[in-house]
């Protein structure tokens, strides 16, 4: 019984002396992990980087690109095999193939295959005219059959520029220019004016 008492007393002394040191060491290790995790900034892939990553995974021509939170949805058509793929590019640049088909190219896709201005060139032209961050690029045409790239750029002050880049000349024109909350004080009267 005395022996048990001595062992218990010795254990108590070790815990009292070592306890705070052990707790401090554990706290320091936890703090280090927490600080590392908190200071690790998630990657933010730009539209241009998302397009490049998608084309590396699935070679072809970007037909559209749209940001949904931290994920980019990219549609790519192949040049020769009549294939089409819907891809997702996450915030770290990882590409996932969501869907592939071999249904042949539509007339719009055939026009895209011969277009002089690519999605990357359309983004570059749009950003030169309206600095900011591209959030959408889409191959499109108007009622007259004119082919163009529809590009949205989010600029400073939550201002969103929505415009067109001609598929032959890369000429930039404005569709609308409005605040992200669609206030009535937008500059939508600039519609279809050259910039």
Residues 181 and 98 occupy one common structural domain: yes
In a domain, 54, yes or no: yes
In a domain, 35, yes or no: yes
Query: Order of strands, edge to edge, in the sheet holding 133-141?
Result: 95-101, 84-89, 71-77, 61-68, 133-141, 147-154, 159-166, 172-179
Please report which residue ranges of the chain form alpha helices under DSSP H: 2-39, 47-57, 107-113, 119-129
Taking Cα atoms as reference points, which of 87, 101, 99, 98 lies closest to residue 53?
Answer: 87
- Residue 149: predicted pLDDT: 95
Residues 101 and 173 occupy one common structural domain: yes
| Residue 50 pLDDT class (50, 70, 90 cuts) | very high
What percentage of the chain carries pLDDT values higher than 90?
47
- Residue 179: predicted pLDDT: 46
In a domain, 73, yes or no: yes
Tell me how many domains the chain contains.
Answer: 2
Residues 35 and 101 occupy one common structural domain: no
Tokens, residue 64: 């559209």
Residues 102 and 18 occupy one common structural domain: no
Contact 67, 137 (CB under 8 A): no
| Residue 81 pLDDT class (50, 70, 90 cuts) | low
In a domain, 120, yes or no: yes
pLDDT at 49 over 80: yes
The owner of tokens 């936890």 is 30
> Domain range holding 159?
47-190
Residues 36 and 52 occupy one common structural domain: no
Residues 25 and 57 occupy one common structural domain: no
Residues 185 and 136 occupy one common structural domain: yes
Residues 93 and 76 occupy one common structural domain: yes
Residues 103 and 125 occupy one common structural domain: yes
């Amino acid at each position: 019984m005395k022996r048990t008492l001595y062992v218990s007393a010795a254990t108590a002394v070790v815990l009292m002396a070592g306890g705070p040191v052990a707790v401090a060491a554990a706290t320091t290790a936890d703090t280090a992990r927490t600080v590392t995790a908190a200071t690790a900034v998630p990657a933010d892939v730009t539209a241009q980087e998302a397009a490049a990553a998608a084309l590396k995974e699935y070679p072809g021509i970007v037909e559209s690109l749209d940001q949904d939170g931290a994920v980019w949805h990219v549609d790519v058509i192949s040049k020769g095999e009549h294939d089409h793929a819907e891809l997702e590019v996450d915030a770290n640049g990882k590409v996932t193939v969501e869907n592939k088909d071999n249904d042949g190219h539509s007339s719009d896709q055939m026009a895209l295959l011969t277009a002089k201005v690519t999605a990357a060139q359309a983004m570059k032209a749009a950003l030169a005219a309206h600095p900011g961050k591209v959030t959408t690029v889409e191959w499109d045409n108007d009622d007259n059959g004119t082919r163009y790239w529809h590009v949205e750029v989010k600029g400073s002050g939550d201002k969103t520029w929505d415009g067109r880049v001609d598929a032959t000349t890369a000429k930039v024109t404005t569709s609308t220019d409005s605040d992200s909350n669609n206030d009535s004080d937008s500059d939508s009267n600039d519609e279809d004016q050259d910039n």
